Amino acid sequence: MAEKNHVGIKIKQTRERQNMSIEELAKASNSSVNLIESLENGDLVPSLTPLFKIARALGVRLGTFLDDAPQSGPVVTKSGSSESIVRFSGKIDGSKDSKLDFYALASEKQDRHMEPFIIDVYPIESEEYKLSSHEGEEFIYVMGGEIEVLYGKEKYLLKQGDSIYYDSIVPHDLHAFGKDVAKILAVIYSPF
């Protein structure tokens, strides 16, 4: 499940291109210096919330950290051919293991406003979930397994074929329900 994450390399490259120190990025993104260093060194599997904050502080789209070779025309991803895998920890602080494997569906599309992914959501051994929020919107379609979405004070159980669309500014958490891996299609919009 876990392999060295390459997101940190892109964070570091973007930060250095802007002549920004780690300390300046930490302050601008309301993150710790230790978090930025751990991400840049690939020692930590990131969760989405700090990545949104870091992207915003650097003035780039979240996709900047996920992109490979940008294209301006349409991008086609054939079934089973998405090699662009980004691993995230979910909401587990200091995690070195992946709980979410993101398969990017349009990582080469430059100037996109949406981030489409197929995501394998691994079950975690916890009853306590840490809600997070960020600007934007999310659309989730369950392709397999079951997903529980905590949204504000509400709880939604989604099964294969179910979907949910919500504002990401409301504190939320998404996780596999039960002991099986779930698979979802997620489209994330985050305003620049």
Contact criterion met (CB below 8 Å) for 44 and 38:
yes
Q: What is the mean pLDDT of residues 161-181?
A: 93
- Most distant CA atoms of the chain, gap in Å: 46
Burial 87-113 (b: 16+ CB within 10 A, else e): bbbbbeeebeebbbbbbbbbbbbeebe
Query: Do 179 and 141 reside in the same domain of the chain?
Result: yes
Instruction: Give the pLDDT of residue 5.
Output: 60
Query: Do 117 and 58 reside in the same domain of the chain?
Result: no
Query: Which domain covers residue 41, as residue numbers?
Result: 7-65
Where is average pLDDT lowest: 42-56, 68-82, 84-98, 117-131?
Answer: 84-98
Query: Do 109 and 164 reside in the same domain of the chain?
Result: yes
Q: What is the mean pLDDT of residues 85-99?
A: 49
| Domain CATH code at residue 149 | 2.60.120.10
Query: Do 97 and 126 reside in the same domain of the chain?
Result: yes
Query: Do 97 and 128 reside in the same domain of the chain?
Result: yes
Query: Do 110 and 153 reside in the same domain of the chain?
Result: yes
Query: Do 170 and 103 reside in the same domain of the chain?
Result: yes
| Domain CATH code at residue 56 | 1.10.260.40
User: H or E element: which one contains 86?
Assistant: strand 85-88
Contact criterion met (CB below 8 Å) for 86 and 42:
no
Query: Do 61 and 95 reside in the same domain of the chain?
Result: no
| pLDDT band at 177; cut points 50, 70, 90 | very high
pLDDT above 90 (res 23)? yes
pTM above 0.85, yes or no: no
Instruction: Give the pLDDT of residue 114.
Output: 84
- Domain total for the chain? 2
Where are the alpha helices (H) located in the chain, listed in sequence order? 7-17, 22-28, 33-40, 48-58
Query: Do 174 and 90 reside in the same domain of the chain?
Result: yes
Contact criterion met (CB below 8 Å) for 151 and 186:
no
